[in-house]
Amino acid sequence: MVGHVLALAETWTDWDGRPVPAGDRLYTPHKAIRRVADHMVDHLAEMEARLAGEETQPDHWHASATTTAADLAPFTGADLDEARSRLTRLARIWATRLDSLTPDDLDRSPGAGWTFRQLAFHVAESVYYADSVGDRRVRSGAPGGRSVGQ
């Protein structure tokens, strides 16, 4: 998932500054990276709390529905470098945590909610945010800059 997101992010340094509609939401390069990172952190925190037998802390912000002024900023090479560093490290933390669990741990997770295996697959769906922005090198007029059939 992170490799896919970062491959798309490499095309965002020439983003035209217009948010991309996706359903009832708007996405920008910064918002896509923020949502991927937040989604990884939120569900990692959920997994850690459940493993420790603690209550999880739900996200009350609903950040996917919010577009901040920072989300509208140009996406520069420095932003891409920061995204690479942040998302790569988060992916490593996820991989380390999942690798420490047995198949039984993955499928019979403590507490309420999805199994940890299901959580991992759910987090992988974070590609949605980056796919919403799309490959910005393609100028076909399709939503998100994606070419028809992509």
Q: Report the distance separating Cα 139 and Cα 142, nearest Å.
A: 8
91-to-2, 6, 77, 114 alpha-carbon distances in Å: 7, 12, 21, 20
Q: E strands of the chain, at which residues?
A: 20-22, 25-27
95-146 residue pLDDT tens: 999 999 999 999 999 998 999 999 999 999 999 999 999 999 865 454 544 4
pLDDT of residue 140: 47
pLDDT of residue 62: 74
| pTM assigned to the model | 0.88
CB 86 within 8 A of CB 34: no
47-102 residue pLDDT tens: 999 999 999 988 777 778 899 999 999 999 999 999 999 999 999 999 999 999 99
| Residue 18 scores a pLDDT above 50 | yes
pLDDT of residue 138: 63
